[in-house]
Amino acid sequence: MQVEFTIVFYISLALLGLILLLNVRCRPSAESEKGFFDRIISKEIQGFLAVFIIFHQTEITLEHLEAGTRDMFQFADYKYYGILAVAFFFFSSGFGLIKRWMTDESYIKGFMKRRTFTVLVPFFICNYIYLTDALLGNIREGKSFKFVEVICSFFGLFLINNQMWFAVEIMILYIVFRIVFSRVKKAGTGILIMTFAVLIMMAIGFLSGHSDSMLMSYWFKGEWWYNTLLMFPVGMFYAYKEERINKVINRAYAAILIGASVLLVIMDFIHRNLIDNLIYWTEFYGSNHPYIDKLAGLGVETVLEIVFLIVVITIISRLKFGNPVLKFLGKISLETIMINYLICDKFYFIYSQFGLYAYMVAVLAGTIVAASVVYLVKNIVLERRTGLFDGDVR
């Protein structure tokens, strides 16, 4: 079993490398001097990171279903890096919003339908899938939910699957952005207000602890609700000062890349040790200083995420990533994050009966197919004509 997990780990790394590096090329110097980070490249990298999150959530699922982390060895490493993928999602969202607002005077018009509904529709599609599955599970096991729980879950106020938290927060951020930037005239002022709103959301999550149930959960229950959220205003700030920041990157590319890479390794070492010493779920493990432990973890993770983003942006300034696979995966990245847990859970019997190889293939294929179906249904609801392999990346 240990050998099996190790082999699968290296195969998964090879797959990730192949997806990312297919058709990679050096960026022309003229592009490096201008804006090189845009919506297209950010969506394609999100597609790559969505596959990474599949591996991350698979590891978490196997751990929760008592597959045993001792046997996982290197494969268990995926649990440490999910925050970096999500940090990039928030960063890209913040960047994209400010970039469009600064360059399109009519951007706020129709914003709710164009951006919020794009998240809202797949959220409720997945929510009803999870709710139906949970209700059917209760029938099989002779259990029942309270009426209030079912109603709240129907409207998304309770989360049957807590992995859907990202969609909830990004919708809240879109709504706040719409309110703020329909009134402010200067980007800097709007970013400050958005940062304050993000800090309030983080404080709520920080003080809310965790849900007692993995099946029904209120919003903002768990450290994942707040430990990457600050990257949203960081992305906004980068868009606001993009030209100035890019000049610094171009002038000191080698120094920034080497320095940030070394710091990333150091922060990663510190972060892994903190996680192993339980900076999460402190209220359940009898920590003497639960909030201090949480705050220490949040501080380290924030620095780790910022350094990671510096490395990514610096690399993108010189290398141009993009291929049909990344474009396709970028389209379904949000749906992938939301539906993946269902596939991990329902396909667990494959792991039990046929082993890890068959399980991983089934989870990858099943998640991509399910996410594609949700994406197509979303487009039908929103009356969009773009398919999985044509049109814009959205």
pLDDT tens, position by position, 16-61: 999 999 998 988 776 666 678 888 899 999 999 999 999 998 888 8
pLDDT of 112 over the 90 cut:
no
pLDDT given for residue 293 in this prediction? 82
Of 27-36, 245-254, 304-313, minimum mean pLDDT range = 27-36
Most confident of 61-65, 169-173, 220-224, 317-321: 169-173
Q: Which residue has the higher pLDDT, 187 or 276?
A: 187
Of 352, 320, 371, whose CA–CA distance to 68 is shortest? 352
Under a CB-based contact definition with an 8 Å cutoff, are residues 307 and 267 in contact? yes
Close Cβ partners of 133 (under 8 Å, ≥ 6 residues apart): 160, 342, 346
* Domain regions of the chain by residue span: 2-381
Distance CA 359, CA 375 (A): 24
- Mind listing the pLDDT tens digit for each residue in 315-336? 999 999 999 999 999 999 999 9
pLDDT given for residue 386 in this prediction? 67
The pTM score is 0.92
pLDDT of 159 over the 60 cut:
yes
pLDDT of 391 over the 60 cut:
no
pLDDT category of residue 157 using cuts at 50, 70 and 90: confident
pLDDT given for residue 59 in this prediction? 87
The sign of the CA dihedral 163, 167, 170, 176 is: negative
Of 12, 26, 91, 13, whose CA–CA distance to 312 is shortest? 91
Of 68-82, 225-239, 247-261, minimum mean pLDDT range = 68-82
Distance CA 27, CA 319 (A): 5
pLDDT given for residue 10 in this prediction? 83
Q: What is the DSSP letter of 158?
A: E
Written as six digits, the tokens of 309 are 């983003």
Q: Provide the strand spans (E) within 253-372.
A: 319-320
pLDDT of 72 over the 80 cut:
no
